[in-house]
Structure 1
Amino acid sequence: MEDSAAIAGLLWDTWLPVNVKGLISSALPGGQRDGRRLAVWLAGAHDIGKATPAFACQVDQLADRMRDAGLEMRSAKALGPDRRIAPHGLAGQALLGEWLRERHGWAVKQTGQFTVVVGGHHGVPPEPGQIAALHKHGHLLRSPGASRDVWRRVQGELLDACAEEYRVQDRLDAWRDVRLPQTAQVLLTSLVIVADWIASNADLFPYFPQDAARSGAERVAAAWRGLDLPAPWSPDEPVEDAQQLIASRFGLPEGAKARPVQEAAVELARSMGEPGLMVIEAPMGEGKTEAALAVAEVFAARSGAGGAFFALPTMATGNAMFPRLLDWIARLPSARGAQQSVLLAHSKAALNEDFAELMRDSGQRIVAVDLDAPQAPRWRPRDTKHAARTELVAHAWLRGRKKAMLSSFVAGTIDQLLFAGLKSRHLAMRHLAVVGKVVVIDEAHAYDTYMSVYLDRVLAWLGAYRVPVVILSATLPARRRRELVEAYSGAEIQASDVQPAFEEVAEVTAYPLLTAVGHGRPPVVRSPDASGRGTDVVLERIEDDVDALVGRLAHELEGGGCALVVRNTVKRVLETAKALRRMFGDEHVTVAHSCFIDVDRAAKDADLLKRFGPPGKADGRPAGPHIVVASQVAEQSLDVDFDLLVTDLCPVDLLLQRMGRLHRHMRGAGQQDRPERLRRARCLVTGADWDADVPVPVRGSVAVYGAYTLLRSATALLPHFEQGEARPVRLPDDISPLVQAAYADDADCPDGWADAMADARDRYEQHRADQAERAAVFRLGKVGKAGRPLFGWVAAGVGDADDSLAGRAQVRDSRESLEVVVVQRRDDGTLVTVPWLAPDRRGNPLGGLDLPLDQVPTRQAARAAASCGLRLPIQFSYADVMERAIAELEELYVPAWQVKESQWLSGQLILALDEDCQTHLAGFSLSYSESDGLEVTRA
């Protein structure tokens, strides 16, 4: 009890961000002084439920000592399954509530908002039914008979001692009429959980200390030194003007200026009464990421947030963001010379070289502590770019599924944020992790109805917590903009006099656009200028015929140039690439899609950036004709630039994202460094039968996006296709009008399309309603009224939520799919890592390493193999095929790898390719190549 209370005090004093302490203390009459006392007291009392027969009976030897002192109890066997009715958290909640009522005159309805912290300290607040059941089994709290009063006296003595030791005796009367917000209840619970975890660490707090004579204070001080938790980020508000701020934080070259959107975002952040939600809508390439980080610095200083979380749609975009986040942290004056905890948050983060290097170099380990040891030495980065500025630490204690997000700076997938809206065990910890940060949500248009159900609920809680949020999008429908700001602002606006202002948010047509709102306050909009550079894109429909496409590209690229062909399915990517190679040759065609092993996917992204990135940064842009055939992976967060674009018909917001890869940068005056034929930006749209009375998208596109959004996209683009009267799509001017036209509820329909459109819309609305209904099953409830205890907060939840394929499927509307580790089986039966893997950063070979079947592979070989994870395509997501595939994959079960020492391979499904990189699985033929990835055909 002393250890937990002491740690809670240290966490409060040195680790909790200022805004979290303010939220906990907001309803208490003594402010933060009361907040600290309350947190320390609850941490000290949180295990009082262990002083009960239901808990104490578990170890006979120890129970006998208690019986000798008059605390009679039946054996664990005699109590039987009834013991499950009184887990020690729930028992503690009951005992503390009784103590408050009997000793201090509290009413029943007043106690729950405080005692639920004790009841929920193992991750799940009790449900009303559990509380009622415990009341019917009083013998689990105190044995009946003569010893009942002894139990009562001991429990009372412990709680009296806690109240006196942690100085709350004189505060309990003042707290009796407090209505503690549910947000404060969540944060107090999470703080007690963290204190409990630290105090329960036997390395930091040995059960049998060598020097028992040392005081508790000395033990705690030694443990705290050994833990060495980095303090939260604590920035001062930047004093530079917006131009200077952007230039200093992002290293703009001399003479370069911040974009108008960036300047306006910083100025708007400074003008807000208190930080809230800001939505930044601006064209691709306008520097939205830099604007968001600059706003985050202002918001953090004003709100007391202790870090930043950048949420992105995919692992690939998270990996791309992570080094940019590190560079930004290194330039922050507030981080200079301080230790800052950082995290890449997705299931394969350990395979990212930037993060893996941080973990290796952050050499701190949690070990048994020496009471007389000096301050633990800290790692100083060898990278001179960071060395003089900050210490970036992947902290040893802040690792693992439930603690990692507590790091101060995080780049990760949107799933990590959506998990905060999923009823799951230890949800309070996920809330603490995001509440202490400024949250940035990128690519907001990329999330479907299912994900949006969770995102909106998370935004409602973030608004209640007063967490600053920045949302980024190039192509956000106006209706979705309104939904986001309403979710954050809170339900009370629905019946308030500010409601008309929210309706106006959905009517604003300006672009770029900034929308800012505080919790319960009306929104404010700003419409800064674009950067001044625009692109006119000529649209043309072409027939969906591969041979015709090959001939067209041969004509267009006759004088050289780089073309991007975006297909909506991997199957179409591979079919197109094969046909193009027959005409252009293998060396002139590159393939990129989602069905590559992880290490190859990362290499593909790096190669695309290297060859097709911005002038001055890219190296080796092909001079002759070159074609990249890609799936949707080319759509997001890749700063690549092509001379010509061919794309399948897709939702208009995504089509515009694809156009953002066309003439993205200026190449010479008037684009004169591009081939003469390609100096005017052109986008050829295929993937549909354009000659039909109503365009008929190809089946694969309909399966991915649905017919309605595709037809709405075609409708919005129609004026740009019409012969004779067609005009180019002007970027960025036409981005918002096109998106709003495609997603408007009352959009016009071309003549002759009405029946097809109505039928497609019915299916679309039914699908959206189904998504929303299924997502709501495990979605967290709304923020309850102040004073209402969190009883049943995560009732009927999913249990533990984690960043696995199954876990991500809980917050994404995706089929649970199989993920395998790809290795190669030689003709002699031995297994090796695939042979084409490049050496690591230190020059160590990774390809062709032995993976012995009778022992744990070397760490290098095991990690190399794990980097070859592959998510099998949708064919393997159907129940009967999945079961057959799992059964066949489990035939290669290696017992020697299923041990703790084999952390990279333990529990993984292994897909062994033959020497020709082929195999069969569940009735399909699988073929893999470094150039084309996985190809699946019916066997």
Structure 2
Amino acid sequence: MSYDEYARELSAALGAAGRSVWAKHDWDSGGWLPLWRHMGDSAGTAAYLWDEWLAPQVRARISEALPRGEADGRRLAVWLAMVHDIGKATPAFACQVEGLAEAMRSQGLKMGSAAQMGKDRSLAPHGMAGQLLLVAWLQDNGWSKRAAQQIGAVVGGHHGVPPSDADLQDALAHRELLYGSASTDAWQRVQRELLDAAASACRIREHLDAWSPVKLPQPSQVLLSALVIVSDWIASNASLYPYFQRTGTAADGRVSRALKQLGLPGRWRPRLPQGSAQDVFAARFSWDEGTRVRPVQEAALAAARAMDEPGMLVIEAPMGEGKTEAALVAAEHMAAVSGAGGCFVALPTMATSNAMFSRLADWAGSLEGIDGSASVFLAHSKAALNDDYTGLPFAGAESADDVERDAAGSRGGGLAAHWWLRGRKKGMLADFAAGTIDQLLFAGLKSRHLALRHLAVAGKVVVIDEAHAYDTYMNTYLDTVLAWLGAYRVPVVVLSATLPARRRRELAEAYCQARRGSPEFDAVEKVQGYPLLTSAVPGGAPQVEAVEASGRRTEVQVEYLDDDPDALARRLETELAGGGCALVVRNTVKRVHATARVLRDRFAGTGVEVSVAHARFVDLDRADKDRELLAAFGPPATVAELGGHRPQNPRIVVASQVAEQSLDIDFDLLVTDLAPVDLVLQRMGRLHRHLRGQGQSERPEGLRTARCLITGADWGQQPPEPDAGSQFVYRRYPLLRAAAALDAHLSAEDGGNTIGGTVVLPDDIDRLVQGAYGPDPIGPSEWQEELGQARESHGIEQAAKADQARAFLLNPPAKPGRSLIGWVNAGVGDTDDSPRGRAQVRNAGESLEVLLLQRRRDGVLTTLSGLGEGRGGIELPTDFAPSEEVGRIAAASAVRLPFPLVAPWVIDRVIDELEQNLLPAWQDKDAHWVAGELLLVLDEDCRTRLAGFDVHYTHQDGLEVTDGH
């Protein structure tokens, strides 16, 4: 039947009383919709989404327990979408609009006014009421209550939170809210009439007996819930489905017109990539004739081809080996096998997500099986500031007219940031997305509309990059999410250069929903080799394969350096005497600033440039800093593309952890604070990363051997004592294990205790990582007592973090037949990609972001002076909202405050002082760029006082906070 037929058949089966029940009302225009019309709109929308939009692997999961497979799945989904608002046919809801309620009273549906019914109405919200009505109707049709609750909870949770048993009992105790006066059964007759008519219109009545014994898996229930929510949201969009202005019905073709106007891109229909690995990779990534596929890339495609059902593939390989390309090609094959309709790449930071977005878009644009255009999304809170994302077609379309115009102008294919698939709750429903790991971890957080997050990932292949970068708290969420992804049969690709063997096993066990320590997973932890591929399919034994290395090797001479800024300055003066570029990585921004000051003093007037890179720049400056680094230290092709050049004079970049992963940059010499060993190795990956010569300046003679100086600890102590700031960031035990692993490796090579040695990348990566994170004691005997004490403290702390994470952690999938009642009980409520939301899945502590603005001497408020491309010093209105363009510049002047200003004992005072800068005119809904933001206003010298601290900002060094006493 056509998408318009559902409403037509439903309406024809109703009497006057059933047709009088209302569902929607607009106070401004007086427009309204009868319930039957919204039921028909929702059903037609759901049928369309099933046919044209849902990925086959989602349809398969919904349908897997039903007798007639996907034919039953479609019927069930459309029917639930039709009846989701049946709870509006109750006195508790209908009394809210007196004029519409009076029309219903005239048809025998008696009810009091909203005032007369009072606060008790809140005990029976229409979602919960609908669940109770549907369960009762199913029981009347021969279902057990347990079976009926599986279906009823989908209706009960369509506003984002399935009710609890206690909520349902409270509603049942107030039957007058559901059924009206005990002296009449008029309400029950209308409710049965609507449900009977819906069953007939959706052709499900003849299937009820076959469905009643089905034990519907929880993943199926979640996906049905999400589909109902999406259908309801689309059908509730008044631009697509206009309200009636008077009595009567809409013209025929209403649903078809709305769906055409909606213009959702057709789903990706992936095809198995054909040909040799060389052919596939060259086609997908536009390789030139001289580029050859690397062994790990070839092996990853072969491993994916060997998996005849959805599973997990873990790729461990050195930095620079093309793991990302390997993951995307494997994802293409896995998508074709599973029926996925898209891909999500999860990364540690916004910076890595921004860099990945362009690569993902280029890959998606090369794929076969995309008809028309595909929807894409950059999934983090600053996506609206990314020009690559906002410049895509459909971005910014607000009205249906705009959508239709943009869609007409965009026909012929391509990628689109679709107008409807925008926002923090809908964006991840797009076909292809790159974003922060938070977006994936949110699928394990008990929160409102959690089902939508599950639908967003259940139809994709999920790629998890930099899997080593997540701590115990985040891994607790990640393991829960992996259990659900395994239950959904979502293909997963995990990438890491430095993954501990124990963590590899935990990932596989989580995805396969195996208990920890299962014997069949022993090989995942015990097989040695590097690079390494691990494949795991739920219900099967994991496979582990060592892969041939590509032959790329970098020998890094390692030395220990005293943690003394003057000693560092003297050493760099010697090392850079013949030219060259050095990277100094500090573990805290405070150490970045302190180091930069000493080095600038030392090299003043010598021609040696000293710059900094860290995360405490406003967004606009941070983006400029990243471009500057790539233009100077990026791959030769990137340098040329950005119009830059390798520095001719000596250059020192003092950076925080932003240099570890987010930027493809190359230096002649590395100095790094002691960090967990996997991060030290990541930093070493910035040494001699790109081939120089061949028209480029050769490296200075004294720096043609890669060297790493490790500082940030007192090497004279046994064991070494790490810097206090480093211990705050990474904790003492991982730092001591890193020192022990390095000591064992370097001492063994030199035959005794030494102050240095050689690390060969990638040959030594696995040995160092497994040594640092393995269970065996490591390091000199005189270290063991302190290592043991640190390990005990660390274990207690990690257990506490895991327990803390479980406070709002979703349970793994329950046994089939268990309903979603109470699924997200005791959750966090409505959360999203905000500082509060991210804190739930990252355990990041208090976080506070502010917009940095400036006040001139004459009192005029401006954007920061000195921002590039004419963005600095723009005058800002204070008695009305800034324009769209100026508001975006102001929003891009955000920076996160450092710990001294967000410590528990000072943050309340900080917020109180910042709130003094709030501008009422900026809180208007039209000022969406700046509404609700806290403003930190600097003087004309870019200084201010905040909660007793001195705050200073420069475009050269970013935000600095010092004790003002």
- 2:8 — aligned with what? none
- Is 1:597 the counterpart of 2:618 in the alignment? yes
Displacement of 1:559 after TM fit?
A: 0.4
Question: What SS class does the counterpart of residue 935 from structure 2 fall into?
Answer: strand
Q: Give the secondary structure class of the aligned counterpart of 2:494.
A: strand
State the Cα distance separating 1:879 from its structure 2 match: 2.6
Mapped pair 1:798 → 2:823: no
SS at match of 2:905: helix
| 1:666 CA displacement | 2.5
**Distance in 1 separating the partners of 2:402 and 2:594:** 61
- Match of 1:641, SS state, is coil
CA distance in 2, matches of 1:152, 1:334: 50
- Separation in 2, partners of 1:379, 1:151: 47
Give the direction of change, closer, same or farther, for the CA distance of 1:880–1:233 in structure 2 (3 Å limit): same
Equivalent-residue separation in structure 2 for 1:437 and 1:310 (angstroms):
10
Distance 1:260 1:380 in 2: 43
Equivalent runs, 1:559-578 vs 2, <5 Å: 559-578=578-597
What does 1:41-52 correspond to in 2, within 5 Å?
A: 41-52=79-90
Query: 2: CA distance between counterparts of 1:578 and 1:24?
Result: 61
Quote how far apart the aligned CAs of 1:141 are.
Answer: 1.1
Relative to the length of structure 2, the TM-score reads 0.92
1:721 CA drift (Å): 4.3
Alpha-carbon separation, structure 1, partners of 2:683 and 2:99? 70
Amino acid at match of 2:210: A
1:608 matched to 2:629: yes
Q: Is the 8 A contact 2:308 2:337 kept in 1?
A: no
Asked if the contact 1:463–1:490 (Cα under 8 Å) also holds between the matched residues in 2, the reply is yes
Structure 2 equivalent of residue 12 of structure 1: 50
Cα pair 1:226 1:366 within 8 Å, conserved: no
CA–CA distance in structure 2, aligned partners of residues 85 and 752 of structure 1? 66
- Aligned residue number for residue 684 of structure 1: 709
Counterpart among 128, 139, 160 of residue 101 in structure 1: 139
1:455 alignment partner, one of 447, 464, 478 = 478
Deviations 1:511-554 (A, max 9, x none): 00010111121111122112111011111111111101100010
> What SS does the corresponding residue of 2:906 show, helix, strand or coil?
helix
Q: Equivalent of 2:555, from 536, 541, 545?
A: 536
The equivalent residue for 1:256 is 291
Displacement of 1:365 in angstroms is 4.1
CA drift of 1:507 comes to: 1.0
Contact 1:282–1:511 (8 Å) recurs in 2: yes
Pairing 1:694-733 to 2, within 5 Å after superposition: 694-722=719-747, 725=752, 727-733=757-763
Which amino acid letter does the alignment assign opposite residue 234 of structure 2?
I
Answer whether contact 1:310 1:412 (CA < 8 A) is retained.
yes
Whether the 8 Å CA contact 1:275–1:303 is kept in 2: the answer is yes
Corresponding letter in the other structure for 2:815:
K
The residue type equivalent to 1:580 in the other structure is L
Residues in 2 aligned to 1:781 and 1:311: alpha-carbon distance in whole angstroms: 22
What is the SS of the residue equivalent to 2:228?
A: helix
Where does residue 384 of structure 1 map in the other structure? none
Q: Alpha carbons of 1:126 and 1:846: their partners in 2 closer, same or farther (altered >3 Å)?
A: same
Corresponding residue number in structure 2 for 1:925: 950
For residues 458 and 213 of structure 1, do their structure 2 counterparts lie closer, same or farther at Cα, with a shift above 3 Å needed?
Answer: closer
Q: How many angstroms does 1:615 deviate by? A: 2.8
Residues 720 and 643 (structure 1 numbering): CA distance in 2 closer, same or farther, change over 3 Å? Answer: farther
The answer to whether structure 1 residue 281 and structure 2 residue 311 are counterparts is: no
**Structure 2 residue ranges without an equivalent (≥5):** 1-38
1:466 aligns with 2:499: no
Tell me which residue corresponds to 2:110: 72
Aligned runs of 1:202-213 on 2, under 5 Å? 202-208=238-244
Per the alignment, residue 654 of structure 1 pairs with: 679
Cα distance, 1:376 vs. partner?
6.0
Matches of 1:846 and 1:624, distance apart in 2:
30
Which of 319, 326, 330 is the matching residue for 2:361? 326
Aligned residue type for 2:57: N
Q: State the match for 1:765 in structure 2.
A: 795
Is 1:378 the counterpart of 2:407? The answer is yes
Cα distance in 2 between the residues matched to 1:864 and 1:76: 46
Say if 2:414 is the partner of 1:414.
no
SS in 2 for 1:766: helix
Q: Is the 8 A contact 1:339 1:393 kept in 2?
A: yes
Identify which range, 755-764 or 309-318, moves more after superposition. 755-764
Alignment of 1:501-650 (within 5 A): 501-585=520-604, 588-618=609-639, 619-650=644-675
CA contact (8 A) 1:635 1:658 kept: yes
Aligned to 1:81: 119
Q: CA deviation at 1:637?
A: 2.9
> Match of 1:812, as an amino acid?
R
2:424 to 401, 404, 412: 401
- Which residue identity does 1:601 align to in structure 2? R
Distance 2:134 2:105 in 1: 23
The CA RMSD over aligned residues, in Å, is 1.9
**Structure-2 separation of matches of 1:151 and 1:778:** 39
Tell me the residue number matched to 2:195. 159
Q: Which residue does 2:163 correspond to in 1? A: 126
Aligned counterparts of 2:740 and 2:566: Cα–Cα separation in 1:
27
Counterparts of 1:726-875 in structure 2, within 5 Å, are: 727-839=757-869, 845-875=870-900
Deviation at 1:671, TM superposition (A): 11
Q: Give the letter aligned to residue 914 of structure 2.
A: L
Matching residue's letter, 1:796 = A
Instruction: Tell me if structure 2 keeps the 8 A contact 1:228–1:376.
Output: no
- 1:913 corresponds to 2:938: yes
Take 1:345 and 1:377, find their aligned partners in 2: how far apart are those partners? 22
Give the counterpart letter for 1:6 in structure 2.
Answer: G
Shift of 1:377: 5.6
Residue 842 of structure 1 aligns with which residue?
A: none
Once residues 616 and 159 of structure 1 are traced to their aligned partners in structure 2, the CA distance between those partners, rounded to angstroms, is 64
Question: How far apart, in 1, do the equivalents of 2:325 and 2:51 lie?
Answer: 32
Aligned-partner SS, 2:108: coil
Equivalent position of 2:400 in the other structure = 367
2:614 alignment partner AA = H
Q: 1:863-914 deviations in whole A, cap 9, x for unaligned?
A: 1111110000011122331111111111112122111221111111111111
The answer to whether the aligner puts 1:113 opposite 2:134 as a matched pair is no
Match of residue 294, structure 1, among 319, 326, 329: 329
Cα distance change, pair 245–209 in 1 and its aligned pair in 2 (3 A):
farther
Once residues 802 and 183 of structure 2 are traced to their aligned partners in structure 1, the CA distance between those partners, rounded to angstroms, is 57
**Contact conserved, 2:668 with 2:699, CA < 8 A, in 1?**
yes
Query: How far apart, CA to CA, are the structure 1 residues paired with 2:355 and 2:472?
Result: 26
Identical aligned residues as a percent: 57
Q: What amino acid maps onto 2:369 in structure 1?
A: S
Choose from 494, 503, 507 the match for 1:484: 507
Q: CA deviation at 1:380?
A: 5.5
Give yes or no for contact 1:308–1:439 (8 Å, CA) kept in 2.
Answer: yes
Partner SS state of residue 271, structure 2: coil
Q: Distance in 2 between matches of 1:876 and 1:509?
A: 46
Q: Indicate the SS of the match to 2:495.
A: strand
**Counterparts of 2:699 and 2:396, CA distance in 1:** 49
Deviates most, 71-80 or 178-187 = 71-80
State the TM-score, normalizing by the size of structure 1.
Answer: 0.95
Q: What is the number of residues matched between the two proteins? A: 915
Q: Offset at 1:379? A: 5.9
Aligned twin of 2:19: none
Q: Partners of 2:437 and 2:776 in 1: how far apart?
A: 31
Q: Deviations over 1:420-468 (max 9, x none)?
A: 0000000000100111111011110000000000000000000000001
Shift in Å at residue 176 of structure 1? 0.9
Code of the aligned partner of 1:152:
Q
Cα displacement (A) at 1:60: 2.1
Aligned to 2:378: 344
Stretches of structure 1 that go unaligned for 5 or more consecutive residues are 382-386, 840-844
Matched, 1:188 2:219: no
CA shift, 1:657, in A, is 0.3
